[in-house]
Amino acid sequence: MTPSVNATHDPALRCWVESANASDTDFPIQNLPLGVFRRAASGEPFRVGAAIGDQVVDLRALGAAVRARSDGGPALQVVKAVLDACGEPSLNALMSMGQDAAGVLRAYLSEALRAGSRAQAQLADHLVPQSEIEFALPATIGDYTDFYASIHHAATVGKQFRPDNPLLPNYRWIPIAYHGRSSTIRVSGQDFHRPVGQRLAREAAVPEVGPTRRLDFELEVGIFVGRGNAPGSAIPIGTAESHVFGLCLLNDWSARDIQGWEYQPLGPFLAKNFATTISPWVITIEALAPFRAPFERVAADPQPLPYLQDPAAGLRGAFDIELEVSLQTAAMRTRGANPERLALSNFRYAYWTIAQMVAHHTMNGCELRPGDLFGSGTMSGPATTQAGSLLELTAAGRQPIAVGSAETRTFLEDGDRVVLRAWCERAGRRRIGFGNATATVLPARPVAIVSAE
């Protein structure tokens, strides 16, 4: 079942961590996202934490304190088991326990962090300022699949290659995706070098090797799998969302010139596998319950085949999540200018629900495991200002956009820093945020051309 709104979402709740009560914080008590951290440059083991205001609750330390308690009945034993899973250096163990376990943890933390809680004295000893920490990936990611779930992005990009037929015939029938490279997924703040690859210049007869000249970002939502499925066993649409643990931000960096040369006939390869950046905090499905929205599809479009017909989609199949991409050039950093917004979109523009992605991914018996990651695909909206990539914003490089006071961009240059942000807000509800997914483009490493002789 999809988690519903409960007492942890009460907008009137206040926290004894005062920074969690600020109107502009991403991490009020109604959020409680989970990530993996340690004190910066400490050499400490990484462990699971929960964000609250400008602090992190060290759940491994909290688990040790709760485990030492001899009081409490069966309910506390369940909490102890969940906190034991949070003692691991990743979220995989907790993810494998499913959404119910995440709900137990959320309810426990919500009670303990509320203003006036008797647990304040105990929890205060297990807080670490976010300004003093560094992050690891939230989970050990075994497999990574990137979908293509925004019809606006697919149509705009398709028009650049097929003006008379921008969408291929299968788009409205199948949640299109490709399998990416999990080994190059990095957490926010980890920069990467401009990739090198093979590309074919316009009017050229022979390809060349060199750094990409058309480096791009993609504004996406990341979807972490919780409970997996047995090999050979499909996950039915009615229970598919229960296999999802939570969401994050995802930037699927893309080398468009390398992509244009290599993608036929088997799809993305070197153009996509050099770097993917995700935000450090995972927002649980339960935390997002107040921001669910009806899933809508154009009536004239074909209805999904039976295995993709989601009975809950009409009421709560979509997520109302604002998605923002900003750019800060090296020159802007030198003069102290903040990143400048390039686009603002929303996850509601997804053409397929998360449940449909899970059901289709497993219909052939494909095994999903805790910690596997899906990307939503570039989440562009119908307006130009809602385009989630430079490929769209600049019409494939033909129309440069202004950045800062005196710069333009068609594609990313060395030193450019891209910042993704996301948040949910609705009248009568507490705003919650996702934090940032940030990385800077470093110059390409020297190209080593090895002769066959």
CA nearest neighbour of 179 among 148, 149, 228, 146: 146
Q: Where are the beta strands (DSSP E) in 302-390?
A: 318-319, 322-328, 340-346, 373-375
Compute the radius of gyration of the chain from its Cα atoms.
Answer: 22
**Is 152 annotated in the active site?**
no
Instruction: Identify the active-site residue in 152, 153, 360, 361.
Output: 153
DSSP assignments along 294-334, one per residue = -----TTSPPPPGGG--TTHHHH-EE--EEEEEEE-HHHHH
3-state SS class at 452: coil
Whether the CB-CB separation of 384 and 308 falls below 8 Å is answered with no
CB 48 within 8 A of CB 62: no
Q: Which residues contact 214 (CB under 8 A, 6 or more apart)?
A: 255, 256, 257, 397, 410, 411
Query: Quick one: DSSP state of residue 412?
Result: B
Any idea which residue has 């080398």 for tokens?
255
Under 8 Å between Cβ of 147 and 175: yes
Question: How far from the centroid of its chain's Cα atoms is residue 343's Cα?
Answer: 17
Other beta carbons less than 10 A from residue 263's beta carbon: 14
**Structural contact between residues 408 and 394, judged by C-beta atoms closer than 8 angstroms:** no
- Return the half-sphere exposure (C-beta side, CA atoms, 13 A cut-off) of residue 154: 21
User: What whole-number distance in Å separates Cα of residue 76 and Cα of residue 60?
Assistant: 16
Residue 386, burial from CB neighbour count under 10 angstroms (0-12, 13-18, 19+): buried
Please say whether the beta carbons of 25 and 51 come within 8 A.
no
Give the active site residues. Answer: 153
